[in-house]
A = this chain, B = another copy of it.
Amino acid sequence: MTVPGVEVAQSVLDAQPFSVLLGARVEALSPAGVVVRVPFRPELTQHHGFAHGGVQAALADIALTFVGAVALGPRVLTSEFKINFLRPSGGETLVARGSIVSAGKRQAVTRCDIFAVQAGEEKLVATALGTIVTADVPPAGGHG
Using CB atoms and an 8 Å cutoff, list the residues of chain A in contact with chain B: 12, 15-22, 42-47, 52-55, 57-62, 65, 77-88, 101-109, 111, 113, 123-125, 127, 129, 131, 133, 137-144
Contacts and interface: CB of A to CB of B under 8 A. Distances in A.
A95 to B, nearest CB: 16
Contacts of A65: 53
A124 B101 contact: yes
23 contacts: A16-B45, A17-B42, A17-B45, A18-B44, A18-B55, A19-B52, A52-B58, A52-B61, A54-B62, A77-B85, A79-B107, A80-B84, A82-B82, A84-B109, A84-B129, A87-B104, A87-B143, A87-B144, A104-B142, A107-B138, A109-B140, A111-B129, A131-B131
Query: Which secondary structure dominates where chain A touches chain B?
Result: mixed
A25 to B, nearest CB: 15
B101 A84 contact: yes
A85 to B, nearest CB: 6
A7 to B, nearest CB: 16
Contact of A58 (B55, B85, B142): B55
B87 A139 contact: yes
Contact of A61 (B17, B42, B47, B53): B53
Contact of A87 (B53, B125, B141): B141
